[in-house]
Structure 1
Amino acid sequence: MEFAGGGRLEVRITASDVGKRVSVRYVTDSGAPGEKFTDAVGVLTSWEDGVLLITRRTGETVRIAGSSLVAGKTVPAAPARRRGPAATFPELARATARAWQPLESEPLGEWTLRAAGGFTRRANSALPLGDPGMPVAAALDRVREWYAARELPAYVQAATGGAGTQELLCAELERRDWRREVSAEVRIAALAPIGDTGADVDAVRLGRSFDEGWLGRYQRFGEPGPQVLKVLGSGPSVWFASVPGTGGIPAAIGRCVVDGRWAGFMAVEVDPAHRRRGLATAVMTALARRALDEGASAAWLQVEADNDGARALYDGMGFAVHHHYHHYRWTGA
């Protein structure tokens, strides 16, 4: 935090800085002996009635009384990654969407409405990349109507934590009774090191399709209807991996979609009885090698923020957080 002349902290932000990334220091125990200070860095999404809302990288919203500010300034966008592939938010958001396609989609300006019979929020949520061609309030009304006509809950997928992400939209959703249900990290890495882990891939089987055994290990649905098969099979160049297990159910599985320079990894699952044996690494290594053969050079994946085991695995493989995405569900009357 910068100091003003004379060694004093200074508040250098105003309500006109809404939409900018800021760093602030504020009092948390105002008036108490030995006042405590804390800092917040994120996008200033609101400053009304003397209260600031700052959205952190993770999507968490911090509410701060303006009277408690002791310092504040605008700061540059989050620093670019210094290793691995360069990627803009729109490029990566579109690549991840192409790897998990719905049964039905409809444009709403530059937004996309997606439905797949309720199978996963990703395939059953509005993807707002750009201008909806109407005021946001009207666009959200249209989103609600579109999903209601399909007897599906209305979801919007929005992102925080990167250059060009959607902190202001997230704040608008929360103001309009949309509630965040799930948050996930989008991580990226160079692909070549993943294909060069040294893992034993001899037992990993790769193919263009999956069978009932693969679905039995995936276990992200009840009875696999056509929407499940369609979504899993969608994407520019799709590969499935499995490691033989017992009873016709693989010990480990994975899915990879190759799309130009990108290789997206999904559905990496390991039988609990076979964990900590390197099977997840072997599956990803085998899929990475196939993606490298097709000309890909960069990798991405999505992992829920509370999945500590998977996050530790991906840390070790060189994946770093690019941004976070969140699914907001309409909860109003």
Structure 2
Amino acid sequence: MGRRVSVRRTLSLEDDGATFGDVVGELVDWRDGVLTITRRDGSIARVAEAAIVAAKVVPPPVQRLTPTRLQDVAGRSWPAPETAVLGEWLLRAAGGFTRRANSVLALGEPGVEFPEALDRVNNWYRKRGLPTLFQVTHDDPFDRFLDAAGWPAEGHALMRTGRLVRAADVLRDVDASAVRVDGVLTDTWLSLYHHSASASGGAAERHVLQGPPGTLFATVTDPASGTPIAIGRVCVLGRYAGFAAVEVDPAHRRRGHARAIVKALTDRALAGGAVTGWLQVESDNRPARELYNALGFTDHHGYHYRRSPAPPR
């Protein structure tokens, strides 16, 4: 249910053989022996189970993965507990937990002139005691506006993408039997996450990390002590799987734990229907870049943050 399918059905039976027809679309209902499929043009087909001769799940229509589209996917995988919309801008606040969840995701036009939009945004963040930050892609016209207005850049990072089937092939011989994958954020996982302010995390932090349905958490624990020694997170949204928070305790590094975490999460993402993997990595994070280079990930686009030159009053 909810997946795109291709169904071949019998249309008629003739003396010289059967006539078949195919239906491709989203399976929206299946009851009383009848499948209801919505085609791409919005038309509806109802197919009797008895008429089906073959069926399979198929990938959704290919859409070019633009920086704007990928930034939107990434934003939805890291949801702030408090948001507001200004045109095509998404204002996010999470009590200061990570820049991503406490910045404006500028994916287009705000619907008003830039100076007025800045006044509204500054006021929104001022009420929450937070500095105003914008997350912008390189060469965005609004980024140039902020640069000219004296907003300093920080947090330079890269968005990287790769085909999950290639990553799975590279990792096929990696032993991931010690990796546990959960569909909910656990205290064990959180205790190793370096961004966590406390062992149990705050409400805003847990909201962001838990993410939308389709978010999975991988953990490797020390068999003797039961403490976590490696963690990772993946968020599957349709055909896209976002990897994050792959961390290994310093005392247990260079033993293959990171690759085991990524293998377990990649396998689960593929099983969930994802095709393309993505991740956000700071430009100077060499270990992470080397890990994903080996899996076939390449740079998709760059982005950074712009901070208000004036502190909140």
Q: Per the shorter chain, which TM-score range?
A: 0.7 to 0.9
Residue 190 of structure 1: aligned partner: 163
Among 268, 280, 284, which residue is 2:262 paired with?
A: 284
Q: Do 1:303 and 1:310's aligned partners in 2 also have CA atoms closer than 8 Å?
A: yes
Verify: 1:322 aligned to 2:300, yes or no: yes
1:208 paired to 2:186: no
Greater strand share, structure number: 2
Once the two structures are superposed, the pairs formed by residues 1-333 of structure 1 within 5 Å of their partners are 87-160=65-138, 166=140, 168-196=141-169, 197=171, 198-223=173-198, 224-245=201-222, 247-332=225-310
The one-letter amino acid paired with 1:222 is: A
Number of aligned residue pairs: give it: 244
Per-residue CA distance 1:262-307 (angstroms, 9 max, x = gap): 0100111011111111211111111111111111111000100111
How far the C-alpha of 1:247 sits from its partner, in A, is 4.2
C-alpha root-mean-square deviation of aligned residues, in Å? Answer: 1.5
- TM-score (norm. length: structure 2): 0.75
Q: Point out where structure 1 has 5 or more consecutive residues left out of the alignment.
A: 1-84
Counterpart of 1:188 in structure 2: which amino acid?
Answer: T
Identical counterparts, % of pairs: 45
Tell me, in whole angstroms, the C-alpha distance in 1 between the residues paired with 2:288 and 2:234.
16
Provide the C-alpha distance between the structure 1 equivalents of 2:113 and 2:195, rounded to a whole number of angstroms.
36
**Aligned residue identity for 2:248:** V
Aligned residue identity for 2:264:
A
Q: Distance in 2 between matches of 1:146 and 1:258?
A: 31
**Equivalent-residue separation in structure 2 for 1:273 and 1:247 (angstroms):** 14
* Partner amino acid, structure 1, of 2:146: L
CA distance in 2, matches of 1:286, 1:226: 28
Quote the residue 1:64 is aligned against: none
Unaligned runs of 5+ in 2: 1-62
Q: Which amino acid aligns with 1:225?
A: G
Regions of 4+ moved over 6 Å: none
Residues 134 and 86 of structure 1, relative CA distance in 2, 3 Å threshold: closer
